[in-house]
């Protein structure tokens, strides 16, 4: 009897009593069910408490599970990349999860699942009776991940709305570590701690009246024996925070920061000042308002002098390509303005390559167009064309199969197409409220069984031609994927960048003084592979979406 090494994964997103009970119930359930199955050997139950389903990087239990599954977690810039380890073998072959939302609400997890499959590790979602061992698992899983992700986004919006309303009412919402004050969360009250307030007044006086910089202020505080609340030396960040906090002059400022997109939980970013909600004299003041305003003027004038310094960082490293020489575009600065420039042009001069520069604003505007519906429209406009091309390629493959079985194979292939069309229409019927979620799962499972049966029959008829058969299966999967594209109309910047193979910069033929960007999308590479393999046509175009903006470009 073959024994399957099994693990399970449990997660709850908050630390409430109800969630604690849910957490323990999940663990008990898996221990009971796995030990009950004589074919299973339980390796470990991995857990995460109080962690959101949309934030993958902070889930220690989840990342430990992936490591034990033979994946390495590699940090590339701000992102985590998962690759199959060459040194470690998986400790298990099957991961049991109660439902899709327990595993992750982030649709980006599909990439991780593909890596697990390639390493012989599969996931079974018990609520929808779905295993990733099936070749066509992605249709249903993508559907439910989208539902789970949307649910998380909706909840996040409700929380943000609650914070916004409390901000309008002037509720004091801050952490208990704010220097100079004692904060009582239940009463939402700040009370001045006088011994700390003295330090704050010294810092503003040194900065505004005596013209000290940050380093000189820190040295002065050291020499005079002033420490942080934890008894440590003041640091540069602490000084900057004190010099920029409006509470010290009596103002409560809410809605000042954007906490980032739901999926990536990025660091807070400063909102435009017009979006701030300001309540004057809401907090006990430690310094005069005039002194605070003078400090902000000094900070602003000093920061202007540092603008234009090259930071060497690009959100699009390696993605922007020169349409003239093929080299990569690198980020640069000119007079405080960020732009991208062909690396050949930068190192060897315009005699070798004179392609146009493109500003960072131009690139971001182009991406925003993709985020705001451009990518969705591209998929929608090209679904029919790409499907027809693949169907034509599939027919060509079929003609290469044994002549004796040709008619039978064609008949089965048509039957498969009918079943796939029915499956593709399930989503539309569900979204039109034709039936509920449970009925959707039931109908989909019936169709999957029929599709699997027909595929096996085709395999039997064509067993002497495994290469053709494998290609037909791949093409069927691609066609199914194409037909489900476009469910989402709007994407995050990170999702867009993940879908882009490259951004090719050329000059606009109609207006050569302006740039022109062609976006090459990764998805169409799969299609082109089969078109070039079996078709007489030249390689299909991947630059299906081209965005064009007119702007003042950076001078060459």
For 300-313, what is the mean pLDDT?
47
CA distance 131 to 5: 16
209 pLDDT exceeds 80? yes
141 Cα distance to chain centroid: 17
Which residue do the tokens 């199914």 mark?
A: 480
For 253-277, what is the mean pLDDT?
53
**Closest listed residue to residue 505, CA positions, set 387, 358, 337:** 358
17 pLDDT exceeds 60? no
270 — pLDDT class (breaks 50, 70, 90) = low
Query: What token pair was written down for 218?
Result: 């820190």
267 pLDDT exceeds 50? no
296 — pLDDT class (breaks 50, 70, 90) = confident
Is the pTM higher than 0.85? The answer reads no
For 136-145, what is the mean pLDDT?
71
205 — pLDDT class (breaks 50, 70, 90) = very high
CA distance 300 to 294: 10
CA distance 474 to 395: 14
pLDDT digits (tens, 9 = 90+) for 212-231: 888 889 999 999 999 998 88
CA distance 286 to 248: 5
In sequence order, which residues have a C-beta less than 8 Å from that of residue 183 and are 6 or more positions away?
172, 174, 175, 176, 189, 190, 191
165 pLDDT exceeds 50? no
How much of the chain, in percent, has pLDDT values that exceed 90? 18
372 pLDDT exceeds 50? yes
* CB-CB contact of 320 with 502 (8 Å): yes
* pLDDT value of position 116: 92
Q: What DSSP assignment string belongs to 458-526?
A: HHHHTTT-HHHHHHHHHHHHHHHHHHHTTS-S---HHHHHHHEEEEEEEE-SS-TTSEEEEEEETHHHH
Lowest average pLDDT, out of 185-189, 346-350, 467-471, 538-542, goes to 538-542
* pLDDT value of position 27: 83
Mean pLDDT, rounded, of the chain: 75
* pLDDT value of position 199: 94
CA distance 104 to 72: 19
121 — pLDDT class (breaks 50, 70, 90) = very high
* pLDDT value of position 400: 64
What backbone phi and psi angles, to 5 degrees, belong to 547? -110, 140
CA distance 182 to 171: 16
- Beta strands, E only, 85-161: 94-97, 122-125, 130-131
Please report, for the chain, how many H helices and E strands are present, in that order. Answer: 17, 20
Q: What DSSP assignment string belongs to 225-283?
A: T---TTS----HHHHHHHHH-GGGGT-EEES-EE---TTT-PPPEEPPGGG-EEETT-S
pLDDT digits (tens, 9 = 90+) for 54-111: 455 567 888 899 999 998 876 544 456 677 887 789 999 999 988 776 565 454 577 7
518 — pLDDT class (breaks 50, 70, 90) = confident
Pick from 304-308, 383-387, 474-478 the range whose average pLDDT is largest: 474-478
For 234-263, what is the mean pLDDT?
73
Q: How far apart are the first and last CA of the chain?
A: 72
Which residue do the tokens 């060509």 mark?
A: 396
* pLDDT value of position 170: 38
3-state DSSP of 303-331: HHHHCCCCCCCCCCCCCEEECCCCCEEEE
* CB-CB contact of 94 with 121 (8 Å): yes
122 pLDDT exceeds 80? yes
CA distance 6 to 140: 23
**Closest listed residue to residue 160, CA positions, set 253, 261, 252:** 261
435 pLDDT exceeds 80? no
Lowest average pLDDT, out of 59-68, 176-185, 378-387, 532-541, goes to 532-541
CA distance 417 to 411: 10
* Strand pairing class (320-322; 277-279): unpaired
167 — pLDDT class (breaks 50, 70, 90) = very low
Query: What token pair was written down for 539?
Result: 């390689």
Burial class of 247 by CB neighbour count within 10 A (0 to 12, 13 to 18, 19+): buried
* CB-CB contact of 252 with 172 (8 Å): yes
* pLDDT value of position 161: 44
Query: What token pair was written down for 271?
Result: 């909102």
306 — pLDDT class (breaks 50, 70, 90) = very low
Higher pLDDT, 290 or 385: 290
* Conformational region of residue 435, where left means phi above 0, alpha means psi within -120 to 50, and beta covers everything else: beta
For 299-316, what is the mean pLDDT?
51
CA distance 407 to 415: 12
* Strand pairing class (500-507; 358-359): unpaired
CA distance 517 to 502: 10
* pLDDT value of position 478: 80
Lowest average pLDDT, out of 391-395, 522-526, 551-555, goes to 551-555
CA distance 62 to 83: 15
3-state DSSP of 173-218: CCCCCCCCEEEECCCCEEEECHHHHHHHHHHHHHHHHCCCCHHHHH
285 pLDDT exceeds 50? yes
265 — pLDDT class (breaks 50, 70, 90) = very low
């Amino acid at each position: 009897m073959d024994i399957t090494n099994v693990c399970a994964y449990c997660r709850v997103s908050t630390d409430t009593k109800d969630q604690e009970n849910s957490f323990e119930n999940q663990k008990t359930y898996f221990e009971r069910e796995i030990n009950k199955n004589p074919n299973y050997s339980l390796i470990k139950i991995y857990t995460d408490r109080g962690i959101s389903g949309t934030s993958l990087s902070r889930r220690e239990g989840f990342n430990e599970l992936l490591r034990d599954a033979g994946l390495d977690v590699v940090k590339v810039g701000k992102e985590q990349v998962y690759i199959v380890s060459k040194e470690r073998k998986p400790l298990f072959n099957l991961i049991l999860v109660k439902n899709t939302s327990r595993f992750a609400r982030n649709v980006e997890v599909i990439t991780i699942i593909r890596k697990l499959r390639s390493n012989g590790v599969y996931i079974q979602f018990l609520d929808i009776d779905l295993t990733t061992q099936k070749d066509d698992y992605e249709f249903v899983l993508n559907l439910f991940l989208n539902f789970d992700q949307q649910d998380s986004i909706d909840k996040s919006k409700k929380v943000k709305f609650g914070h916004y309303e409390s901000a309008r009412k002037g509720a004091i919402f801050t952490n208990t570590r704010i220097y100079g004050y004692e904060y009582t969360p239940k009463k939402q009250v700040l009370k001045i701690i006088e011994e700390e307030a003295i330090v704050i007044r010294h810092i503003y006086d040194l900065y505004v009246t005596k013209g000290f910089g940050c380093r000189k202020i820190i040295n002065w505080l050291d020499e005079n024996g002033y420490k942080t609340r934890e008894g440590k030396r003041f640091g540069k960040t602490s000084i900057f925070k004190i010099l920029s906090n409006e509470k010290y002059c009596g103002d409560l400022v809410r809605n000042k920061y954007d906490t980032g997109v739901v999926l990536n939980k990025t660091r807070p970013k400063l909102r435009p000042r017009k979006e701030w909600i300001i309540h004057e004299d809401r907090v006990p003041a430690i310094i005069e308002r005039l002194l605070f305003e003078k400090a902000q003027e000094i900070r602003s004038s000093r920061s202007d002098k540092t603008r234009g310094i090259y930071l060497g960082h690009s959100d699009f490293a390696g993605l922007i390509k020169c349409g003239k020489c093929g080299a990569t575009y690198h980020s640069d600065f000119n007079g405080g303005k960020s732009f991208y420039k062909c690396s050949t042009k930068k190192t060897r001069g315009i005699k070798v390559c004179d392609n146009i520069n493109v500003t960072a604003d131009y690139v971001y505007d182009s991406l925003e167009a993709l985020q705001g519906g451009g990518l969705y429209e591209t998929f929608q406009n090209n679904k029919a064309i790409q499907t027809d091309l693949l169907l034509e390629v599939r027919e060509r493959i079929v003609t290469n199969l044994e002549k004796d079985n040709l008619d039978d194979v064609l008949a089965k292939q048509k039957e498969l197409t009918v079943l796939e069309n029915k499956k593709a229409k399930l989503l539309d019927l569900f979204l039109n409220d034709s039936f509920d979620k449970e009925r959707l799962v039931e109908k989909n499972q019936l169709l999957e069984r029929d599709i699997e049966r027909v595929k096996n029959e085709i395999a039997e008829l064509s067993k002497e031609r495994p290469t053709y058969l494998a290609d037909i299966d791949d093409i069927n999967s691609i066609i199914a994927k194409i037909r489900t594209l476009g469910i989402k109309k709007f994407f995050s910047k990170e999702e867009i960048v993940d879908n882009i193979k490259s951004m090719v910069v050329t000059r606009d033929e109609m207006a050569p003084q302006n740039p022109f960007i062609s976006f090459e999308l990764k998805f169409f590479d799969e299609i082109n592979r089969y078109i070039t393999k079996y078709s007489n046509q030249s390689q299909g175009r991947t630059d299906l979406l081209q965005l064009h903006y007119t702007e003042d470009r950076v001078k060459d």
